[in-house]
Amino acid sequence: MENEKSKAEIEGGELATGVPPVSSPAKVVFAHPSEEEFARILDFYRIQWQYEPRSFPLNWEGSPKVEMFTPDFYLPELDLYIELTTLKQSLVTAKNRKLRRLRQLYPDINIKLLYRKDYHRLLAKYGYGPLGKAKIEALDRILLSAPQIQRRVSELGAEITTDYVGRRPLLVGVLKGVACFMADLMRSISLPLTIDFMAVSHYEDRANGAVRIVKDLDQSVTGCHVLMVEDIVDTGMTLHYILNYLAGHKPASLEVCTLLDKRSRRLVDVPLKYIGFEIPDEFVVGYGLDFGEEYRNLPYIAVLKPEAKAEPTTPEGSR
Ligand code: IMP
Ligand code: MG
């Protein structure tokens, strides 16, 4: 908010010295409650933030008192400064003038002036935020933000690229939870490759007896370098079954890449070559993962509130 930084703070070594270290949110004392609210929203979406990390000199010619501008927040993942503002018109006008000046002097700095009502609109623009009120209410918290996921998927893709040089991997996904991960992962592998999908029945469909393949691969895996791509490995029972099935068809190699590993729940030991994130024993949705077919389109991965899980609208367990 409107904040005139004391000279002492400015002289404390943070004067336009580039990006300082990430502040520890626990220790931050906010000048205004709406700043704290904004910080909480950012925390919810797992967006990194720094509070007032940098002061920009705006006017230093011929005046003993340097005019400074200190944006409220910096969001390193978005390379974006945020200045929050009230609806007080007199302050807004002065602030707009400062902002114009800052943009003139520092054209490479990305800064936005935000009104309270703009919080969610801004987050939505960057792929965060609720896709609907009902959806967000069932979510406890964001576990992995969209940029966190994207960064890790790129790393996995780079690792796989290095490991498979000279071989053509066949990426095999199990529908439907793997849709987002497969789409992003294959685009971060810079090698010729092929993809295929299969679908299996689940315990919830137990009327059909044992687990079985309800959609088989279109192509033979014999002699292929098969890389199983999984959204999440939980007990490991599904994957164990599929790996046995694939191994029976004599691929040249067979490895697993999973985005999420809920290791504490593992019952069957399955060899995982590439792991995106190890996550706690909580039910997660988003980025392809569903609860009763919902939430697959969330761009982030969130923990579902246990009470939301207790009242399923549709049967759970469809992948
Ligand atoms: P597993 O045989 O227990 O390893 O089952 C793995 C499958 O269960 C995944 O492919 C998901 O479809 C589903 N699953 C397990 N945990 C979760 C979760 O937290 N959210 C959504 N689906 C899950
Ligand atoms: Mg599922």
**Among 214, 232, 242, 294, which residue has the most ligand 1 atoms within 8 Å of its CB, making it the best to mutate?**
232
pLDDT of residue 32: 85
- Rounded Cα gap, residues 29 and 106, in angstroms: 27
Token look-up 């098969």 returns 226
- Rounded Cα gap, residues 26 and 253, in angstroms: 48
Residue-wise pLDDT tens digits, 207-219: 556 778 889 999 9
User: Which positions ≥6 away from 96 have C-beta within 8 Å?
Assistant: 113
pLDDT of residue 208: 56
Residue 241 Cα: closest atom of ligand 1 = 2
Rounded to the nearest 10 degrees, how much is the dihedral formed by the CA atoms of 100, 105, 110, 114? -30
Residue 236 Cα: closest atom of ligand 1 = 4
Q: Is there a catalytic annotation at residue 269?
A: no
Ligand 1 contact via 283 beta carbon (within 6 Å): yes
Ligand 1 contact via 98 beta carbon (within 6 Å): no
Question: Could you say which of 72, 184, 231, 234 is catalytic?
Answer: 234
Residue-wise pLDDT tens digits, 120-156: 777 777 767 666 666 678 888 889 988 889 999 999 9
Look up residue 304 and give its two tokens. 């579902």
pLDDT of residue 244: 94
- Rounded Cα gap, residues 8 and 101, in angstroms: 23
Ligand 1 contact via 289 beta carbon (within 6 Å): yes
**In this structure, which residue's CA is closest to atom 3 in ligand 1?**
235
Residue 178 Cα: closest atom of ligand 1 = 10
Look up residue 28 and give its two tokens. 């931050």
Mean pLDDT along residues 304-319: 65
Region of 271 (left: φ > 0; alpha: ψ -120 to 50; beta: rest) is beta
Share of the chain above pLDDT 70, in %: 83
- Rounded Cα gap, residues 199 and 210, in angstroms: 14
Query: How far, in Å, from the CA of 165 to the mean position of ligand 2?
Result: 32
The answer to whether 128 and 77 are in contact (CB under 8 A) is no
Half-sphere exposure of residue 138, counting CA atoms within 13 Å on the CB side? 22
> Angle CA(293)–CA(295)–CA(300) in degrees, nearest 5?
145
Helix runs in 106-208, H state only: 119-125, 133-137, 146-163, 179-187
Query: How far, in Å, from the CA of 224 to the mean position of ligand 1?
Result: 26
DSSP per-residue letters across 189-236 = --S--EEEEEEE--GGGGGG-S--EEE--SS--TT-EEEEEEEEESSS
